[in-house]
Amino acid sequence: MSLEELHLNLRNLTSDDYDQLKTLMDAVYHDLGGSWPKLTIDKLIHEFPDGQIAIEDDGLLVGVALTVRVDYDEFSNPHKYDDLIGHRETILNDADGDAMYGLDVLIHPDYRGYRLGRRLYEARKELCRSMNLRAILAGGRIPEYHQYADELTPAQYIDKVSRKEIYDPILSFQQANDFQVKRLLRKYLPEDEQSRGYATLLEWNNILFEPAASVLDTRPTQVRVGAVQWQMREFSSVEAALQQIEYFVDALSDYQSDFAVFPELFNAPLMGLQDRAAQQDQMGAIRFLAGFTERFKIELSRMAVSYNINIVGGSMIEVGEDDRLYNIAYLFHRDGSVERQAKLHITPQERRDWVIEGGDELQVFDTDAGRVGILICYDVEFPELGRLLADQDMDILFVPFWTDTKNGYLRVRHCSQARAIENECYVVLCGSVGNLPSIENLDIQYAQSAVFSPSDFAFPHDAVLAETTPNTEMIFFSDLDLTRLTVVRAEGSVTNLKDRRKDLFDLRWRDWSWKSGANLEE
């Protein structure tokens, strides 16, 4: 049959199809009792119509998938085919079941080779997703096992099929369609002599499954990020700086952003409130700037609550309990809570001119719009940090930065793009622009803020979701689909996180609790 002659149509099975279905089942299952009675099929169609899927070619039934709903906990454990069958050969469909169970897939012998089975499986998967069911289960026969039964155990046979050393028409097909062997089923179908009564319990996991929960407890899958490519400008007072910040927070909130993001050390122009002579004392100037941090924390927390938006407050200088200086990014939640992430790697300039110290803690923050991490500027150039955050299921990585030259900016940009790809997450890059020759160490800035994504079909071809005009003050937005991250991590063209060779290497965070005086023996 030529491809030009095909007129395929995917639809749901109806009772009127029974005569053709019976002919098809008798041909395919001649060694297992043939077709189901009409009463059985009619009941199945009545109780779960969406699960009975057919492919026809000009009215001829050429492919069928029969499915029921079951309780996952019951049928993901050892069971027999008869556990699905009630009196008078009725198939037991659980209307409240949280999983689908594949009963049969039949393809007309004349239509094999057109991958119709794959179409039926894809239709099943789409139905599983649309109904928010947990998984698709199936008891898979291993019809070629009888040829190897004298030399291989069922487990050895399954292993060789998985390694493609043996071809099994059912198991090989199931595995090619992303089904995983969960366990071996004994005496599943005793009359199946070819399989010697054995079967594999196969499972396709619905990675988008969401357990029932209160609407208020459910996190959104769509997150809007707004960021400010901030111009470093002279301020006449702290109040003037806070007024400018609130203007941007208000604007980002008006566009229903879940996050407002500011750059690293975005309040640094307040060093200009000292006269030029005082600024020559770099240590004095940076400690002068640190004196405003507590006021900024109070005001930014107020804005987060008032404007109902989470604020990534760039970073600010903090004087620690040890009287040392730290570069700290604060996360102001819209519920009023505040969390912090210190810059861990300090640049030579920060260390030389300001004697800033690196922090010793790294964490992922739970927010009402996903799990987020923050790496301040230079930190993103150390890939271990991004991977440690990814191991804690981070969705979005925020990178507030401050660079003076384009080559410095490109280091941060290229490393941020790498973190998005290798950790299968979104990365939000936010920097400052403008020239301030009147303030020491703020002469020039270079920035082109952006949002990066993993590099796969679900995302833009260049993996750039949004980008600003270089060196121009502006706000920008990007809508992030967290569901796409779930899909790419499980079913992407490549799956970086899943495919790591943990048998060869690992990554861990050292315990630095001794620095805070904790008793490690407790």
This prediction's pTM: 0.81
Q: Are the folds of 8-205 and 222-494 the same? A: no
What pLDDT was estimated at residue 522? 39
Q: How confident is the model at residue 191 (pLDDT cuts 50, 70, 90)?
A: confident
Reported as type and span, the H/E element at residue 384 is helix 383-390
327: tokens are 């570069």
Q: Which residue has the tokens 């996952």?
A: 72
Percent of the chain exceeding pLDDT 90 equals 72
Catalytic residue positions?
A: 264, 343, 377
Among residues 317, 397, 386, the alpha carbon closest in space to that of 357 is found at 317
215 has a pLDDT exceeding 50: no
Contact, 278 vs 286, CB < 8 A? Answer: no
What distances in angstroms separate CA 10 from CA 105, 115, 282, one per listed residue? 14, 13, 73
How do beta strands 325-332 and 310-312 pair? antiparallel
Parse the chain into domains and list their residue ranges.
8-205, 222-494
Q: How large a percentage of the chain has pLDDT more than 70?
A: 94
Which residues, listed in sequence order, are joined to residue 317 by a DSSP beta bridge? 327
- Tokens 């964490």 sit on residue: 363
Q: Which residues partner with 54 through β-bridges?
A: 11, 64
Tell which CATH architecture fits domain 8-205.
Answer: 3-Layer(aba) Sandwich (3.40)
Confidence check: pLDDT of 501 > 70: yes
CB 99 within 8 A of CB 79: no
Rg of the chain taking only CA atoms, in angstroms: 30
Collapsing DSSP states into helix, strand and coil, what is residue 105?
strand
Give the CATH superfamily of 222-494: Carbon-nitrogen hydrolase (3.60.110.10)
Q: What is the pLDDT of residues 79-125, one digit of tens each?
A: 998 899 877 678 889 999 999 999 989 899 888 888 899 999 999 99
CB 359, CB 326: distance < 8 Å = yes
Whether the Cβ atoms of residue 12 and residue 46 lie closer than 8 Å to each other: no
Instruction: Give the model's pLDDT for residue 283.
Output: 84
